[in-house]
Homo-oligomer: A and B are copies of this chain.
Amino acid sequence: MSVSAGREFLSIPGPTVIPDAVLAAMQRPAVDIYSGPLVALTDSLLADLQKIFRTAGRTYIYAANGHGAWEAALTNVLSRGDKVLVLESGRFAIAWGEAAKMLGAEVEVLAGDMRRAIRPEAVEARLRKGDVKAVLVTQIDTASGVVNDIPAISAAIRAAGSDALLMVDAVASLGCMPFEMDAWGVDVAMSGSQKGLMTPPGLSFTAAGPRAREAHRKANMRTPYWDWTFRDGDVHYHKYCGTPPEHLLYGLRAALDLLFAEGMENVFNRHRLLAEATRRAVGMWAEGQAIGFNASEPEERSDTVTTVVMRNGAGSGAIADYCREKCGVVLGRGLGSHEGKAFRIAHMGHVNAPMILGTLSVVEMALASLDVPHGKGGMTAAVEYLAKAVPA
- Residues of A5-33 at the interface with B, using a CB-CB cut-off of 8 Å, are 5-10, 12, 14-20, 23-24, 26-33
B355–A267 CB distance below 8 A: no
Q: Does A292 contact B (CB under 8 A)?
A: no
Q: Does A60 contact B (CB under 8 A)?
A: no
- Residues of A218-253 at the interface with B, using a CB-CB cut-off of 8 Å, are 222-225, 227, 240-248
Task: Count chain B CB atoms within 10 A of each CB in A5, A103, A356, A368 and give the residue with the most.
Answer: A5
Output the least CB separation between A77 and chain B (Å).
15
Copies of this chain, complex-wide, total: 4
Output the least CB separation between A96 and chain B (Å).
10
A355–B7 CB distance below 8 A: yes
Residues on the B chain within 8 Å of A388, using CB: 368-369
Output the least CB separation between A251 and chain B (Å).
8
Residues on the B chain within 8 Å of A12, using CB: 32-33
Task: Name which of A129-137, A181-189, A302-310, A376-384 contacts chain B.
Answer: A376-384
Q: A333 to B30, alpha carbons, bound, how many Å? A: 16
Task: Name which of A65-73, A110-118, A160-168 contacts chain B.
Answer: A65-73
Task: Name which of A40-48, A50-58, A81-89, A322-330 contacts chain B.
Answer: A322-330
B364–A353 CB distance below 8 A: no
Q: Does A370 contact B (CB under 8 A)?
A: yes
Q: Does A289 contact B (CB under 8 A)?
A: no
Q: A241 to B266, alpha carbons, bound, how many Å? A: 34
Output the least CB separation between A315 and chain B (Å).
11
A390–B376 CB distance below 8 A: no
Q: A143 to B4, alpha carbons, bound, how many Å? A: 27
Output the least CB separation between A309 and chain B (Å).
18
Residues on the B chain within 8 Å of A365, using CB: 353, 357, 383, 386-387, 390
Output the least CB separation between A249 and chain B (Å).
9
Q: A225 to B65, alpha carbons, bound, how many Å? A: 9
> What would 8 more interface pairs be, CB under 8 Å, given A5-B266, A6-B17, A354-B355?
A10-B29, A10-B32, A14-B243, A65-B242, A65-B244, A102-B223, A353-B365, A361-B361
- Give 23 A-B contacts (CB < 8 Å), ordered by A residue: A2-B270, A3-B386, A3-B390, A4-B353, A5-B262, A5-B352, A17-B30, A24-B24, A62-B64, A63-B64, A75-B223, A103-B224, A201-B243, A356-B358, A357-B357, A358-B361, A361-B379, A361-B382, A361-B383, A365-B383, A369-B387, A369-B391, A379-B380
